């Protein structure tokens, strides 16, 4: 019974992390700003780091099953 919330959380974290990484990569390819009002290096670094952390958190949730 406890696997239901873990599957939901893992899916949500993994999808969000993957989407954030894809979005950041697409913005970089088009040379568009990742975040307005923030330095480009800081925005890319924070966005990519957040995407990797969320993806890892999703994989951790799946590993706890």
> What is the per-residue pLDDT for 51?
97
Q: How confident is the model at residue 64 (pLDDT cuts 50, 70, 90)?
A: confident
HSE (side-chain half, CA atoms, 13 Å) at 1: 0
pTM: 0.87
pLDDT in tens, 25-36: 999 999 999 999
Instruction: Supply the range of the domain harboring residue 42.
Output: 3-63
How many domains does the structure of the chain reveal? 1
User: Residue 62: is its pLDDT beyond 80?
Assistant: yes
Q: What is the residue-wise DSSP string for the chain?
A: -THHHHHHHHHHHHHHHHHHHHHHHHHHHTT--SSTTS-HHHHHHHHHHHHHHHHHHHHHHHHT-
Q: How confident is the model at residue 1 (pLDDT cuts 50, 70, 90)?
A: low
Tell me the two tokens of residue 47: 């966005």
């Amino acid at each position: 019974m406890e696997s239901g919330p873990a599957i939901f959380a893992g899916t949500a974290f993994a999808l969000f992390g993957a989407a954030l990484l894809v979005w950041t990569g697409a913005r970089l390819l088009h040379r568009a700003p990742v975040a307005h009002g923030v330095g480009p290096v800081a925005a890319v670094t924070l966005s990519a780091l957040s995407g990797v952390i969320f993806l890892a958190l999703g994989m951790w949730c799946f590993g706890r099953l």
